[in-house]
Structure 1
């Protein structure tokens, strides 16, 4: 790093110390309707805490309507019911989060998310029911949970359609709620359960449209959304055994589409905060993901809604600790995060700002891929940007955990937290998953073919190497 870069970084760094130090970012957000907040790992408390503080200010000062996270729809719907104080829901949303079952439950079942959810319930209790701030999951993994939720909804509200829904259920039933078995089976019968799922989804879409005027409750919307999850998951698991980008793109399109449906439900003045990993919210076109045919939520939201205001905020740190697992399904543990690789973005910022926390707000720029060569500002230079997932093997970090990134094109703002600490799960152990399916793309944005004996990895993790 040149002396000029160090001077520029120090001059442009804004202190990041308390809620008031986020004022420059709030000014940049302005009237934007979409604010996407990242994280460089799923197991770092500091990222969650800064997102919490910023999100509270967005809700209180700018009237944001809901928080949408990289979580399953059914689980997060239960959290939503608690934070909006829906009749019959648990009074403490922390109890709901502690009951999350899908591995890795600590993504949302941790003390920092529980603290935010409890604050959100208190905030909502002082507001009319129609103006309470929601909490929703965007992800696509809950195939069987969503199928059961659809069946339960139809049994209660539309029993005449239950037999049709059971046709889809019976097609999935032989796979014993095992996505990997279903994915392998589609190689023999490529159509899988697609026809039954599409038929069920069509019916639920029609029902949702017919009841939208007379039923303002969440029930019909949630039933349709669970059917959308079922359709997206079915496509995702059919695609995941290939080594190409299709499964990743199906997942991120599903999350962006779910966000669009939520915004439509909340109305023309709706504003959304999104919490996901950097690999989902940072614009893929400013990384090597674009070269591999990958898109992500940040890119899609910019492409669809830039006129409504979109602000993407990334996070990173140089060293510290993180909670993660050695292999998929293992009990998580606190691990050391070694100093960032020499020449990486995190190393650059550490050299200029050792031990400090800083906020960078970037000027509006045009995306350029590949990056322009020659001398440019440090935030327009392509550098490796660390991404850590729920499976973390630090010994493979230099070859698996860095995403080539042009920082000011990937994000509108960036929070550098030089040293960070692991978050605290709400429960100490994790139930092992049922033979989880192996994604075709690592969440660091690289298509991979799973090696023999490997397990899947979620956002930011490196491919397992034997």
Structure 2
């Protein structure tokens, strides 16, 4: 990178240290209803910590309604019940997080999420619990929990609507031969293309009708959760059916599901609702500013911008030059702390490292998605396509020369970017065995 590029980076960098470091970003958020916060890996402590600080301020100063994360709905609903002080829920959210079993558990069962959820419970204790003044929630957007969501639907119907249990039993019997193994189900759909889709659609239709009826009456989270678990079941069934294909279909099913879940949560929380989203950069950075678009892929950041730009959408990316990270050598394997080598020459991370020896900086790009005229009539560094590192839960540092990077126009992919030059691995709450039979997502593990 040229000295001119480095000079421009230094001119545009805002110091990311001290109590007021995030003020420019809060100013940029303004009255936006959607703030999506990324991460360049699922195993880096500083990404979680900066998101924590920013999210607390969004909740305290701007009245954000809930945090939605790249996690499973049933697990995160249990966290929500704890942080919201629901009757019978554990007083300490760490008890719930420690019980997470789906690989990669370290994404949420770590000391940084524990600190945030404990703070959120304390914050909520000072707020009314009435539906009209809801406590701040914590919810999962992801699609993987097929069997957990099916069991949750059955339990709910048996308790609240026994006359409608039959469709759930039919769906359960359809999936039962696969012994809660999504790969077995996916392989079976090669010979039975429709799989269990008819049973799932029948179940979902009934729960959608019931949720619409009860929402008018009491806005019940229990009814909303039952409908959402059915939506997860439908999304997961489509996802696993598409998973064996070589194209982008399974990825797009997953990200559409997460964006749709976010929309349902916003509708449930009412017209004044505001959402903070925590997901990997690959999900929250607009896919149209990367080579993902060339591959026919969409993502959550793109969909939220397309659907809600008029309501205010701010996408914040993260990156680092080197350090350590928690990841695994293969899907479902035991995770470990790995060294993250210095960033590839010519990448975003390399440019920022060379320009900013102090190591930490915030960039707020002009206009939504980096829109606005270039200074002095010349393209800025953030308007050019550069490689941008993405580390998944599966990571191979030795492949940095030809993998682990996404060609990106940074100022179009994000509205702001946090550069944290050297970062360190997060701390899981407990040792993590390789328990999950889940297939790797496409592309690898983000």
TM-score by length of 1: 0.92
Q: Which residue of 2 aligns with 1:454?
A: none
Q: How does 1:167-316 map to 2 (within 5 A)?
A: 167-316=170-319
Equivalent residue of 1:213, what SS?
helix
Q: What's the offset of the Cα at 1:19? A: 3.7
Q: How many aligned residue pairs are there?
A: 438
Paired residues of 2:314 and 2:368 also in contact (CA < 8 A): no
Q: Which residue of 2 aligns with 1:410?
A: 413
Aligned equivalent of 2:439, options 437, 440, 459? 437
Q: Which residue of 1 aligns with 2:339?
A: 336
Paired residues of 1:19 and 1:53 also in contact (CA < 8 A): no
Paired residues of 1:286 and 1:367 also in contact (CA < 8 A): no
Q: How does 1:7-22 map to 2 (within 5 A)?
A: 7-22=7-22
Paired residues of 1:285 and 1:367 also in contact (CA < 8 A): no
Equivalent residue of 1:53, what SS?
helix
1:180-210 C-alpha deviation (Å, 9 max, x unpaired): 1100100100000000000000000011111
Paired residues of 2:369 and 2:413 also in contact (CA < 8 A): no
1:428 aligns with 2:431: yes
Q: What's the offset of the Cα at 1:375? A: 6.0
Q: What's the offset of the Cα at 1:131? A: 2.6
Equivalent residue of 1:68, what SS?
strand
Equivalent residue of 2:272, what SS?
coil
In 1, distance between residues paired with 2:114 and 2:370?
37
Q: What's the offset of the Cα at 1:354? A: 2.2
In 2, distance between residues paired with 1:278 and 1:121?
27
Q: What's the offset of the Cα at 1:162? A: 1.2
In 2, distance between residues paired with 1:355 and 1:408?
22
Bigger shift: residues 300-309 or 323-332: 323-332
Q: Which residue of 1 aligns with 2:357?
A: 354
1:427-446 C-alpha deviation (Å, 9 max, x unpaired): 12324213x2243x21xxxx
Give the direction of change, closer, same or farther, for the CA distance of 1:366–1:263 in structure 2 (3 Å limit).
Answer: closer
Q: Which residue of 1 aligns with 2:69?
A: 69
Q: What's the offset of the Cα at 1:7? A: 0.8
Q: Which residue of 2 aligns with 1:89?
A: 89
In 1, distance between residues paired with 2:401 and 2:307?
34
Q: What's the offset of the Cα at 1:67? A: 0.1
1:209-261 C-alpha deviation (Å, 9 max, x unpaired): 11112233211000000000000000000011111111100000000000000
Q: What's the offset of the Cα at 1:355? A: 4.2
In 1, distance between residues paired with 2:48 and 2:164?
42
Q: How does 1:4-153 map to 2 (within 5 A)?
A: 4-129=4-129, 130-153=133-156
Bigger shift: residues 421-430 or 291-300: 421-430
* CA RMSD, Structure 1 to Structure 2 (Å): 1.3
Paired residues of 2:332 and 2:435 also in contact (CA < 8 A): yes
In 2, distance between residues paired with 1:190 and 1:422?
42
1:401 aligns with 2:389: no
Q: Which residue of 1 aligns with 2:445?
A: 458
In 2, distance between residues paired with 1:211 and 1:112?
37
In 2, distance between residues paired with 1:104 and 1:3?
41
In 2, distance between residues paired with 1:169 and 1:180?
17
In 1, distance between residues paired with 2:399 and 2:391?
11
Q: What's the offset of the Cα at 1:345? A: 0.6
Bigger shift: residues 421-430 or 405-414: 421-430
1:364 aligns with 2:367: yes
Equivalent residue of 2:276, what SS?
strand
Give the direction of change, closer, same or farther, for the CA distance of 1:191–1:375 in structure 2 (3 Å limit).
Answer: same
TM-score by length of 2: 0.96
Equivalent residue of 1:335, what SS?
strand
In 2, distance between residues paired with 1:430 and 1:274?
28
1:265-313 C-alpha deviation (Å, 9 max, x unpaired): 0000000000000000000000000011000000000000000000000
